[in-house]
Structure formats: structure tokens, C-alpha cells
Amino acid sequence: MDLLKWSKRPAVGVDAKKPQVNIVRGLIARATTPLLPDDYLHLVNPLWSARELRGRVIDVVRETEDTATVTIRTGWGFPDSYKPGQYVGIGLQVAGRWHWRSYSLTSIGDEVDKTIAITVKANPDGFLSAHLVEGVSPGTIIRLAAPKGDFHLPEPLPDGLLFITAGSGITPVMSMLRALRARDQQPDIVHVHSAPTRDDVIFLEEMEKMDGDLLSYDLQLQLTREKGKFNIDQLDSEVPDWRDRSCWACGPVAMLDTVEERYAEEGLREQLHIERFAIARTDVGGEGGTVTFTKSDKSVEIDGATTILEAGEDLGIQMPFGCRMGICQTCVVPLAAGYVRDLRSGDEHREGERIQTCISSVSGECTIDL
Amino acid sequence: MAITDIDQYAHLTDADVEALGAELDAIRRDIEESRGEADARYIRRAITVQRSLAAGGRVVLMFSNRKSAWVAGTAMLSLAKIIENMELGHNVMHGQWDWMNDPEIHSSSWEWDTTCPSVQWKHSHNFVHHKYTNVVGMDDDVGYGILRVTRDQPWEWWNVGNPIYNFTLGTFFEYGVALHHLETEKLRKKEKSYRQALKDLRIIGRKVGKQAAKDYLIFPALAGPNWKSTITANFTSNIVRNYWAYMVIFCGHFPDGAEKFTVEEYENEDQPRWYLRQMLGSANFRAGPLMRFMSGNLSHQIEHHLFPDLPSSRYEEIGVRVRELCDKYDLPYTTGSIVHQYFQSFRTITKLALPNALLKATTDDAPETASELRFAVREGVQDHFGVDPATGRRRGLRTALRELKKAPVRAAA
Ligand code: FES
């Protein structure tokens, strides 16, 4: 037993679908130490590495004027199964830097062809999304983070479902719809989706087809240019039984806020599931904010001149540090969520990047796993 | 005594030092802003070259019973180890490539191909050495706890072995670097407990074990009947790498003109003076593109000490600008051929095996150890510095040093 552990030890922290793979990996790593065999293999084929999950863009298909579906062949170690509605981290190198962002998966997981799909909307301020929609050529190697997120359907399924989506908020729900369609038993679904015009509706054809084919799926399109913004009070007239349904909502912050408020008022908050990725994607601007240290379960409000290192120390957290002047890299930690600003260069860093806490301050809010 | 008043030593006014600091800050900003695709490509290629050499060398050494294979394989492996330690390990762990945001080429995750565990190295090198550069008593790289490299270190009887320790350190440099973290100096002074040292030693032991197992057990075993020649090849490549790393590092820190500083100087220091200490404390050696690459660009030790976290591949370009600043402020830019720089380091180490009483120069005015007092002991020299109102030319440290060399020794009245 101990021998088994010993064999795998160099590969701890590497995702492998079959544990045997990591035994082989660990044994070979005795010869390639301090590297893993993967580090040599990915020179031959970039997908042959599970140390960092990788993928290769297969194609990019336009859905609407400003959205595209990117299909990606995944490399070693990427999980075959994920839950429809979860999101995946994507890293793309632009001008020498890797940029990370999370996108909802719109594929439903297929053991055979090992591809995943994301559907991306090019926000004018979203640097990476614009790149993905406009500029990624097939063959590009990207990095991936394993799928995660709580925004998915439970098992067993509730009898009645309500989806409230708007704009690109459709993406996680689309993956749920596709997964549901692939099953035999169909719950009763009402789907309220908002978009400015028909041309802006991502997956329009697919949804309308489902609406026609399936009795159990009722699509209510809210074209906001004509009908105005979705109003929570509409529910009473258009989905009279909404209180009996479990609801999944995804879209702009303002919409989600009103939905959440209403559910809370009615004492139905339990029934509501919300995906708020929009918050993490708007530039919060300004300086200072809240720093949260997850492992210590503490958080504090600081101004833009206080460093994260100081903030953590003030809370009594054991923060790694050395020079405290930005040269030694002792204080580097991954940024689990949110934004920080590098006080020397003024650069903003975001989720997924590694930051030097001694010269960084928060920009809006951030979370550190310490 | 080493430098206590850096402004006076450098012949700079307060305003000069501020201005110099601002110019160096501007260099940092320019480089930071211009980092991009080309730099990323550079480091990725360096990694590919290094890994191909390593893999190639190991394969060739499977046939190391043949002399030509032994030579070729050993050469490839030595190169791979050198590149890994110098251009990759050292620089990546300095955070020079952290801006790429690549989790695999990042200071927080890189483990290098040498016996020193990277966590410890980031402390003893990045922090202790780079923050306290050449402050006698604070920077353990001043002599590594076993060598006497400045007259400010009081002579003790065991220092007579200085030249021998020097060669031993060169040969087993990777172990020297690994044991560095034990901080023998602090142990001797009882500033560190043996329990902590033991803990460090265990971590070192684990890494040493892995490195040694790879070179002296696993690859020889894989080579089957050629196990013996594989061991000699691996041993040789480790030694080659050790000597080279040692050479590069000694040439950057111990030639004449790489100054040492007192704790007092350090205590009154701000950012511009920190820069100044780095400039005066380091030395370069001349190198073409290949030598630069093989030394991890530490042929530009001055630039590295000024900007330890900027990409090594940009040091050449930074060097041009640093030289211009040296001209402008009339500061020395210590450089020379690698042979010349090493010779000076070696001379110092040999000389300092002897107690100061047997040596000619003083702790204020020796080729390798100086203080601002070296200018005071010579009558009249001090006065002509500052900017010449007639020509507008600055007469600063570099001119002073030159004149000192020419002027006959005259004690101040
Ligand atoms: S503590 Fe040294 S870089 Fe942050």
C-alpha cells in the first residue's frame, strides 16, 4: 500500500482519470525529477500533459453577430464528465501573457470524442472574449481548468423547472437543455429568455425547434426592443405556477437582483439557483475593497494603499513573505477570485493569476486561499 | 571598514541620488511595458532547447561504453544542467517570467534540477542575498559562511584554508548552495537553533536523495551493462555544471570594485540608495550571445541586481542604458573578461587567507574592500569633485578612483 503511494507521489496533484496512469507517471518521474514525464512529452504533442490541463481549438463557429461557439479537443487528464451548467476555466496566450476567464460549457460531455464547447459573447470590454470570438484560429493551444460550479441540475430532477435567462446568460442553461433533451424523461420546463432582437438570440433555432417538438418545453422569448425589459411581475401572469417550480437564473446583475429579491420576499429563496458570473466580469474600477482569506475564514475592508500582505498580517494570518519590496517572490499566491492591482506597475490581476501580496492591493474585491 | 556613507563614496549629492533612482525606475517601467510575445517565445524556446538536450544526452549515454557517445552525452547533459540552473531555474524563480501568467513557468511552482530545494533557495537567494546585497553580516553570500572575501570579516585561524575551501566550494557548488540555507554563520552565533537547522537539513536531504538517485541509480540501471560509464558521465556533468555556476557567480561578486557595505549604510537606505548599492556591489563580465545565454545572463550581474525580476533576455538592452547612467553620473561600471574577473576574485580569496596584519592595504582602501574613507586619507583629493562649472563635466567616483590609482599615496595631515 505504501509502495503504491510512493509510486504515485511525484504525480500528486496531477489529474488522472485512471489511478494506474499516475503510478506510471510517478515511477518515470524518478528519472525525470524534478519534472514529470509530461513536461517532455508535451514538447512532442502539447496535449500530452496532465500537469496543466490543455486543449486545442478545433473550430470557432459564429452564433450571432457577437457570439461564437468554440469547440475544443481536450488533452490528458480532462474529466470526461461534468454537470451541464458548470463552467470551465480557459487560458489563452495573448501578447505573451496567459489570460484566464471562465465560461459556461455548452456541450454535455461525451466520453468518445473528448471535445467540449463553450459559447462566448464578445463584450466590448471583455478582452479575452473578444479574442475568442474574433481571433482564435483552429489549432491554437489553450489551457484549461477542470469544470466546476454549483449551477447545475440536481438528481433526481424536480418535476417543474423555470429558466430565466438573458443575453449570454443562456449558455449554462443551454447545456442543461441539451442534457435534458438527451434523456427520456422530460420535466416540465418554462424558459423565459430575453434579448434585444431575434438576431441577438443565441441558439435561437435550436430553442425554437425544441419548443415545437417537445410538449414539455415552453419558450417565452422576451425581445426587449419591442416588449421592454423582463419584469419580475410578468411571472404572475405568464407563468402562474412559478412558485411551484425550481428556478435557474442567469444573466445581467440587475435582472438577477430583482429575481433574487422577489424569491426572498416570497420565502422561496431555496428554490432559486443563480449564476452570477457577470459580477466577476465587469471592471469594478476604483481602488481598495474587501479582501477575503478563505482558509482562515476572515475578511477585511482595506484602502487601495494597503497591501494584501499587510491586510492579512493585521488579521493575524500567517502570510508568506520575504523582502516586502517586490523582488524575492516569496509572497506569491494564486488569486482565487476577484481583482488586485499591482502597486508598482498599476496592472490589474484577476482570478487565476499569481500575485505578489507585498506589492498588491485589492481592486473591488478579492479572495485568497490562505 | 566597508562603505557606511554611500552618497559620499559615490560622490553624489542628495539630488543626484534621487535623479539616478528616478532614471532607473524609468528603465524598469519601459521594460515592463514592452514585455510581450517575443519574450515569451524566447523563454519557451530556451526550455525546449534545454529539455531536448537533457533527453538527448540521456539517450546517447545509454551507449556510453563507446567513447564518442560518452563524450557527446556528457557534453549534452552538462549543457542541459547549466541551462536549467542558470537561464531557467535561477531566473524563473526570481519571478522574471511571472508576468506571463503561465503556471508552468512561474516562480511559485518551478523546482530546479539541482540539490538545493527551490523553496529554501528563494529565501536565501532572492530574499537574503538580493535584499541585503553585500551588507557584511547580513548577506550570507559574502563568503557563504566559509570563505573570507573581504577584510571586514575578522580573520580567524581556519581562514588559512581559504583557497582550498574555494576549490571545494567550486567542485561541489550545488551542495554548497543547498547547505547555504543552514546559515552556519547564524548557527555559530546562536541566532538559529539546531532544531531548525535539522528541519532544513531534512528537506535538503530529500531533494539530494532524488537528484542523486536519478544520476547514480536510475539512469545507470537503465543503461544496463553500461552502468559504470553512465555514472562517470553523470558525475562529470554535475561537476562541469558546478564549476561553471561557481565561476559565473564569483565573477559577479568578488572582483575588485564590487564593494561591500556596513549595516549602518543599510539602515539609512531608501530605494534610490538601494539601487546604488546594487550597482556598486556587483560586477559584470563581457560576453557574447552564447556566453550570455550559458551564464543565465548573469554576465550582466549589475543589471540583474538592479532589476532581479525583469526578464534576463533584456539585460543586454538594459545594460546599454545603465552604462549611459554610469557615464552621466561618473560612476564605475565594473566589467572585464571572465578570466580577468575570475583572476581578481581568486587573488582576493587567496590573499585573505592571511590576517590583515600581513597584508599591505587597509580595510578602507584595498582593491576588493573600500570605504568612503579611502578618499579622506589622501590629501586634497576630495575637493575637486562635483560638476565642473566651466566644462559642465561631472567629476565623480569614477574619476576619483582613476586619480587615486595614479596619485602616489599621501596620508592626510
Ligand atoms: S515579499 Fe518579496 S516579493 Fe513579496
Question: pLDDT tens for residues B362-412?
Answer: 888 898 889 998 887 665 555 556 677 777 778 889 988 888 887 655 544
Distance, in Å, from the CA atom of B129 to the CA atom of B93, rounded to the nearest integer, reads: 14
Q: What does the domain layout of chain B look like in residue ranges? A: 6-328
CA distance A93 to chain B (A): 8
Kindly identify which residue of chain B lies nearest to residue A29, measuring between CA atoms: B214
Q: How many CB atoms lie within 10 A of CB A119?
A: 26
Å from CA of B98 to ligand 1 middle: 13
Which chain A residues touch B211 with a CB distance below 8 Å? Answer: 33
Q: Check A329 against B107: CB less than 8 A apart.
A: yes
Q: Check A328 against B131: CB less than 8 A apart.
A: yes
Mutational pocket test of ligand 1: of A307, A310, A318, A330, the residue with most ligand atoms within 8 Å of the beta carbon: A330
DSSP conformation class of B224: G
Domains annotated for chain A, with CATH where assigned, are 2-44 (no CATH), 55-148 (2.40.30.10), 160-276 (3.40.50.80), 288-368 (3.10.20.30)
Q: Which protein residues are within 6 Å of ligand 1, measured from CB?
A: A 321-324, 326-331, 356, 358
Most A-contacting residue of B125, B127, B133 (CB-CB within 10 A), to test interface: B127
CB A34 within 8 A of CB B210: yes
Distant-in-sequence contacts of B208-215, Cβ < 8 A, 24+ apart: B208/B115, B208/B175, B208/B178, B210/A30, B210/A33, B210/A34, B211/A33, B211/B113, B211/B114, B211/B115, B212/B115, B213/A30, B213/A33, B214/A30, B214/A31, B214/A32, B214/A33
Closest residue by CA, ligand 1 atom 3: A326
Flag whether residue B213 sits within 8 Å of chain A, measured between CB atoms. yes
Cell 530545494 belongs to which residue? Answer: B117
Q: At what angle do helices B67-83 and B227-253 cross, to 10 degrees?
A: 40
User: CA nearest B268: which of B34, B17, B25?
Assistant: B17
Kindly identify which residue of chain A lies nearest to residue B47, measuring between CA atoms: A43
Å from CA of A355 to ligand 1 middle: 10
Q: Which residues of B71-87 are buried (b: 16+ CB within 10 A; e: fewer)?
A: ebbbbbbbbbbbbbbbb
Cβ burial of B41 (10 Å; 0-12, 13-18, 19+) is exposed
Most A-contacting residue of B83, B91, B108 (CB-CB within 10 A), to test interface: B108
Q: How many residues does chain A have?
A: 370
CA distance B335 to chain A (A): 24
Q: Check A52 against B131: CB less than 8 A apart.
A: no
- Note the pLDDT tens digit of each residue in B31-55: 999 999 999 999 999 999 999 999 9
Residues 6+ apart with CB under 8 A from A301: A288, A289, A290, A291
Flag whether residue B218 sits within 8 Å of chain A, measured between CB atoms. yes
CA distances for A248 relative to A161, A229, A254, A312, B368, angstroms: 8, 18, 15, 36, 73
Q: Using 50, 70 and 90 to split pLDDT, how confident is the model at B341?
A: very high
Sign of CA dihedral A189, A195, A201, A203: negative
| Per-window interface: B 364-403 vs A, CB < 8 A | none
Virtual CA dihedral for B245, B162, B302, B308, nearest 10 degrees?
Answer: 60
Mutational pocket test of ligand 1: of A356, A361, A368, A370, the residue with most ligand atoms within 8 Å of the beta carbon: A356
Distance, in Å, from the CA atom of B169 to the CA atom of B163, rounded to the nearest integer, reads: 10
ipTM of the complex: 0.89
CA distance A317 to chain B (A): 19
Q: How many CB atoms lie within 10 A of CB B91?
A: 28
Most B-contacting residue of A328, A342, A353 (CB-CB within 10 A), to test interface: A328
Q: Check A95 against B37: CB less than 8 A apart.
A: yes
Distance, in Å, from the CA atom of A41 to the CA atom of A48, rounded to the nearest integer, reads: 6
Q: In B329-410, which ranges are continuous DSSP H helix?
A: 338-351, 373-376, 397-406
CB B69 within 8 A of CB B60: yes
Q: Check A323 against B131: CB less than 8 A apart.
A: yes
Which chain B residues touch A329 with a CB distance below 8 Å? Answer: 93-95, 98, 107-108, 122, 126, 309
CA distance B270 to chain A (A): 11
Q: Which of A98, A326, A328 sits opposite B101 (nearest CB)?
A: A98
Distance, in Å, from the CA atom of B336 to the CA atom of B258, rounded to the nearest integer, reads: 12
Distance, in Å, from the CA atom of B227 to the CA atom of B221, rounded to the nearest integer, reads: 6
Longest dimension (CA), chain A: 69
Cis check for the bond before A156: say yes or no (omega within 30 of 0).
yes
Å from CA of A357 to ligand 1 middle: 7
Distance, in Å, from the CA atom of A310 to the CA atom of A353, rounded to the nearest integer, reads: 20
Q: Check B101 against A356: CB less than 8 A apart.
A: no
Cell 417550480 belongs to which residue? Answer: A245
Q: Check B130 against A327: CB less than 8 A apart.
A: yes
CB A84 within 8 A of CB A105: yes
Kindly identify which residue of chain A lies nearest to residue B216, measuring between CA atoms: A31
Q: Check B108 against A329: CB less than 8 A apart.
A: yes
Q: What are the grid coordinates assigned to B75, written together?
A: 557534453
Q: Check A325 against B38: CB less than 8 A apart.
A: no
Distance, in Å, from the CA atom of A127 to the CA atom of A101, rounded to the nearest integer, reads: 10
Residues 6+ apart with CB under 8 A from B384: B395
CA distance A59 to chain B (A): 23
Q: What are the grid coordinates assigned to B399, written together?
A: 574619476
Q: Check B108 against A333: CB less than 8 A apart.
A: yes
Stretch B166-183: mean pLDDT, rounded?
A: 89
Flag whether residue B75 sits within 8 Å of chain A, measured between CB atoms. no
| Per-window interface: B 40-59 vs A, CB < 8 A | 40-41, 48, 51-52, 55, 58
∠ CA A331-A335-A337, nearest 5°, is 155
Å from CA of A291 to ligand 1 middle: 18
CB A34 within 8 A of CB B112: yes
Distance, in Å, from the CA atom of B304 to the CA atom of B252, rounded to the nearest integer, reads: 10
Stretch B279-286: mean pLDDT, rounded?
A: 97
What pLDDT is recorded for position B190?
83
DSSP lists the bridge partners of residue A165 as A193, A250
Which chain B residues touch A35 with a CB distance below 8 Å? Answer: 51, 113
CA distances for A167 relative to A2, A65, A221, A250, angstroms: 53, 13, 11, 9
Which chain A residues touch B219 with a CB distance below 8 Å? Answer: 31
DSSP lists the bridge partners of residue B394 as B387
Distance, in Å, from the CA atom of B185 to the CA atom of B144, rounded to the nearest integer, reads: 8
Å from CA of A335 to ligand 1 middle: 15
What pLDDT is recorded for position B380?
56
Q: What are the grid coordinates assigned to A206, written together?
A: 435550436
CA distances for A261 relative to A160, A246, A257, A347, angstroms: 21, 16, 6, 36
Q: Check A329 against B101: CB less than 8 A apart.
A: no
Å from CA of B127 to ligand 1 middle: 8
∠ CA A341-A344-A348, nearest 5°, is 25
Distance, in Å, from the CA atom of A24 to the CA atom of B52, rounded to the nearest integer, reads: 22
Element (H, E) at A71: strand A67-74
Q: Check B103 against A52: CB less than 8 A apart.
A: yes
Distance, in Å, from the CA atom of A287 to the CA atom of A126, rounded to the nearest integer, reads: 20
- Note the pLDDT tens digit of each residue in B209-262: 999 999 999 999 999 999 999 999 999 999 999 999 999 999 999 999 999 999
Q: Which of A99, A326, A330 sits opposite B123 (nearest CB)?
A: A330
What pLDDT is recorded for position A81?
84
Distance, in Å, from the CA atom of B109 to the CA atom of B89, rounded to the nearest integer, reads: 11
DSSP code string of A29-68: HHHHTTS-HHHHHHHH-TT--SSS-EEEEEEEEEEETTEE
Q: Check A31 against B111: CB less than 8 A apart.
A: no
Kindly identify which residue of chain A lies nearest to residue B211, measuring between CA atoms: A33
Q: Check A96 against B100: CB less than 8 A apart.
A: yes
Residue-wise pLDDT tens for chain A (370 aa)? 588 888 888 888 887 778 888 999 999 999 999 999 999 999 999 999 998 899 999 999 999 888 999 999 999 989 888 898 998 888 899 999 888 778 889 998 766 778 999 999 887 666 788 888 887 999 999 999 888 888 999 888 898 999 999 998 999 999 999 999 888 778 899 999 999 999 999 999 999 999 998 889 999 999 999 999 998 999 999 999 999 999 999 988 889 989 999 999 999 999 999 987 644 433 444 578 899 999 889 999 998 888 999 899 889 888 888 778 887 788 899 898 888 988 888 888 888 888 999 999 998 889 998 8
What pLDDT is recorded for position B164?
96
Stretch B49-68: mean pLDDT, rounded?
A: 97
Which chain A residues touch B91 with a CB distance below 8 Å? Answer: none
